[in-house]
Each structure stands twice: as C-alpha cells, then as structure tokens.
Chains A and B, each alone.
Chain A
C-alpha cells in the first residue's frame, strides 16, 4: 500500500516503513538504545532525502526514549539533576548543530557530511564495542574471572573545578565535562539525527563513573529533550520533519521494542554487545561503500533555496 509523504514529497510503501520501525524497535528494545543511528541510514537507503531522514529520525527517537525513560522513572533509576546539566549542554550543542546543518545544506555537502559522520561514529563505536565484548567472551570461556574496572579511582576529569553534587548518582564532579558531553551529543543529534545513547552510556560509565543502574535512565531522559529540541528547531528552520513518516516508524517501533526486550533477556550481556557491535559495523560499512563506489549518477539537482 503506497502512501504519499507530505514533506518528503514522495510515495512510499506503508508496510516497508512499519516493518522498518518494528525491526529497529526490536533491536532497540533488545539492546536498550534509541535506534536513531539505525533509522536514519535505513531511511537514506530507502531514498528519503537525507535532510528529512535526519530530522524525522530525531522525532522518532523521542517516542522510544520517552517510553523507556518512563519505566526508569518508576524504578527510580533516573538522576534528574545530572540529566538537567547534560541537557543544558545538549541545548547549546544542538543549536550549533542546526546552523552547521543549514550551512552544509546550502553548500550541497550535507549528504556527504552525514555519511562521513556516520561512518566515523559507527565505525569507532562498533570497533571498540566488538573488541571489548570479544575479550570478555574469551575470558569467560577460558574460565578466568572477568577483570572488573576499579570504581572510585579518580582520573583527570575529577580534578576540574566547578564541582557539583549529584545525589542520585552518588557523584561529586565538575560540571564542565558533563556540559561538554551534553553539548557534543546535542550537536551530533541535530546534524545526524541520532539520539546519542550509544555514546552517552559508555561515556557516563567510563568517564564520569556514574553507577550503571542510573546511566540508561538518565541518558534516555536527556535524549528525550535533546531530540525534542532538535525536532523543534529542524521543524522551524528547515521544515524537514515529516510527521507522517515519523508516526509510521514510531507505530512499528513501540510494538517491536517489546518483543526485542523479551528476546534480549534470553541473551547474556557480552553476547548482546557483540551482536550490537556487529550491527553497528555493518551499517558503517554499508555507508562507507556508498562513499567509495562510483555513483550511478554523477550529477544531482537540488533547489537553489533551502528546499
């Protein structure tokens, strides 16, 4: 069944979009990530203009992170104060990202920039995760007890000034790295459409030493607002949010997420991470191939204005 997307201005198949949303929802439920880093490349492979894929991807991320954050709020595994500081940085980064986005779009380099950032981002994160999870898998197989990271050990980050106490996270830390982390993820979110959970979670654990149980909830909490802000700004400055497209993806996504979460409970943590790493790398490789293979059309047309 075809449906005409009012903003993307093309006809697409409803079931393809629902299935895409469900598949990504399944994976995001399984791995506990928002899924924005999968949705945007998938939309681009499906010929949705990258500018619209990015803005609509951000819109879709709100739905999955909102429902996730609600469960964490109920369990009390959400640090509002930490989330608030991250968010302040996030808004600044996101605003900057929007200007870069509009500027690159005028130059005609937006598509290239989006692909390059995805390849760099997913390639790095995927490789690190794969190495980490494979070494854990190997260690458990050989019977050795996994070496735990010593918590409480202080690194350079803890010597920075402007310290603040975060009670729910049992943390006393400078707000500079927190703001910086929030800002970089906000920037990424507005330029690439990702929520940034897959970067935020490891950064909070390894850099700021936030207890693992509050990390996911807090990260989801801040992603809701960063994505919401990104969606709003894209809607007002670029008019690239397609609600019809976003809604179809969300509808498939919320259903898929539940089955994914169930499937995820049957797998062990490091197996899950290895699988997610492979998936992330596969997306990165697919995008990288497109950059190097001779395109079927060397010429492309676009409107001279923003549209």
Chain B
C-alpha cells in the first residue's frame, strides 16, 4: 500500500492541441481540461488526510492575457450528495438536549476548493452564485420547504460552519498554480474523514473575471483492501459479520485464558 502524504494524479494532457496551432485561421477560444490518470483513490489503515494533486491544461490561451496573469482557475472536488440532518441543542431543565432540527437533501458530503487567488479577487459574488461555486453558494435544499426562512437560513449557516470546522469543506487559496502558460497544478485537501464514494472534480476557467469554460472528471474514493472488505462485509453480510465478531471475541477470551491462566 502506498504512503500517503501526497496523492499525485497525473493527467492526459491534450498538450498537442495547445502547442501545435491547428487551423491557422480558427478564432482562438480558450478552454480547460483536467483528466485523471487513475479514477480511484484508496484510503488505507494509516489514512489521516492527504493532499490530492490534479494537473490540467489551458487550451488556446491568449499569450498576452496569460503573461499578465489574468487567467484564473478554480478547482473543486465535490463529494457525493447525501441527505443531512442538522440538530440544535437547547437547554431543558439545565440539560442540553437536541430539540430543533432541519433536514437538507443532496448536500455534498465534502467540498474542497483550490484557487489561483482569493475568491473575491477572481470574479464578483453574482457570478459565483450563478455557477453555484464555492461552499457559501451551494444551494442547500431543505426537505421541508414549509419552515420559516429564518430557521432555514440559521440551519444552513450552521451546516456550512460544521462542515468547515470538520475540514470537509475547505478552501485552498493559491492551491492552483500555473506551471507554464498552458499547464496548471491544483492541490485540494482530503480531510481525514473524507467520505467514500464518487467524487466529482471540476475546473472553472476565468479570464479577467469572466467565466469561460468548465471541465470535469470523476474520482472514486474508497477504503483500501482490508478496510473495504470489513466495511462491505458489515453491510452486505451483516449477520455473518455479527457471527464473526462474536466468535472473534470468544476465541480471544479463550486464548487469553490459555496464555495467562493462573489456576
């Protein structure tokens, strides 16, 4: 099993297309590509979070714009959407009890962003909202739309705050770096509690604050061999798993007596 500091994912660069001008007269339209050489990442026993590196390329960049650094790239790694219940504790007779709750549907379990510059320097809040880009612009859909807007707003804010505090929603300003005019590298953080499942990597290209193009790729994050087998067994063969757990305990108890007994 490989060590975990940095997981590097190389790419298929469509560099040829970028370097060799194809049709001399075609108007140059920039676009962006990311591609993953592996479509899965394994979480091993020692996993305590990691940086995931994604490489990508710009196609047909305008050399002048590139030199002036007016291209910006935002890369997002978004976890699988899941329903979430947010609960608020309140004091009842001095004891803190979960009282109010709000259920949201299709909340991305994780959301890691890497950018070339601070988000507010790249484009205006309106564009982010339109693209629903950035954790503060993700639309959290309440399961019960009948609740008062103030309540929904309060629980939405709490949901974002908890996700950020546990590292599941993160922002890495300066995490995207141009290695050359065409090539960039993005580093997104995987939290120690990163959820398993299908993650979606998306790259957004901006030119002088204007959104140009988006490209996406999929990435499967799963537990590695042993951990995965245990997890799958617990869910797919839960009865046999239970029998195994009980037998393991009995054997350990019996062995313990055999090894250490004093009577």
Contact with B along A235-251 (1 / 0, CB 8 A): 11001010110110011
Closest to A25 in B: B256
The reply to whether the CB of A109 lies closer than 8 angstroms to some CB of chain B is yes
Given A292-B95, A300-B89, A302-B85, are A6 and B248 neighbors across the interface (CB < 8 Å)? no
A291 touches B96 (CB 8 A): yes
B253 touches A9 (CB 8 A): no
Q: In angstroms, how far is the closest chain B Cβ from the Cβ of A69?
A: 9
Closest to B194 in A: A9
Q: In angstroms, how far is the closest chain B Cβ from the Cβ of A45?
A: 17
Q: Please name all residues of chain A whose beta carbon is closer than 8 Å to the beta carbon of B235 when the two chains form the complex.
A: 239
The reply to whether the CB of A112 lies closer than 8 angstroms to some CB of chain B is yes
Closest to B154 in A: A299
A67 touches B43 (CB 8 A): no
Q: Please name all residues of chain B whose beta carbon is closer than 8 Å to the beta carbon of A300 when the two chains form the complex.
A: 86-87, 89, 98, 162
Q: Please name all residues of chain A whose beta carbon is closer than 8 Å to the beta carbon of B70 when the two chains form the complex.
A: none
Given A62-B246, A63-B249, are A301 and B85 neighbors across the interface (CB < 8 Å)? yes
User: With the chains together, A131 CA to B179 CA distance in Å?
Assistant: 74
By secondary structure, the A interface counts as: helix
Q: Please name all residues of chain B whose beta carbon is closer than 8 Å to the beta carbon of A10 when the two chains form the complex.
A: 192-193
The reply to whether the CB of A305 lies closer than 8 angstroms to some CB of chain B is yes
Given A6-B234, A243-B230, are A255 and B162 neighbors across the interface (CB < 8 Å)? no
The reply to whether the CB of A254 lies closer than 8 angstroms to some CB of chain B is yes
The reply to whether the CB of A80 lies closer than 8 angstroms to some CB of chain B is no
The reply to whether the CB of B129 lies closer than 8 angstroms to some CB of chain A is no
Q: Please name all residues of chain B whose beta carbon is closer than 8 Å to the beta carbon of A258 when the two chains form the complex.
A: 256, 260, 262
Which of B85, B161, B163, B226 interacts with A303 by CB under 8 Å? Answer: B85
Q: Please name all residues of chain A whose beta carbon is closer than 8 Å to the beta carbon of B257 when the two chains form the complex.
A: 67, 70-71, 254
Question: Which residues of A, 65-109, contact B by the 8 Å Cβ criterion?
Answer: 65-67, 70-71, 74-75, 108-109
Q: Please name all residues of chain A whose beta carbon is closer than 8 Å to the beta carbon of B239 when the two chains form the complex.
A: 232, 235-236
User: With the chains together, A236 CA to B244 CA distance in Å?
Assistant: 12
Contact with B along A1-37 (1 / 0, CB 8 A): 1111011011100000000000000000000000000
Given A59-B249, A298-B90, 8 further pairs, Cβ under 8 A: A2-B47, A4-B43, A11-B47, A231-B246, A232-B246, A298-B88, A299-B159, A301-B159
A residues bordering B, Cβ < 8 Å? Answer: 1-4, 6-7, 9-11, 59-60, 62-67, 70-71, 74-75, 108-109, 111-112, 116, 224, 228, 231-236, 239, 241, 243-244, 246-247, 250-251, 253-255, 257-258, 261-262, 291-292, 294-295, 297-305
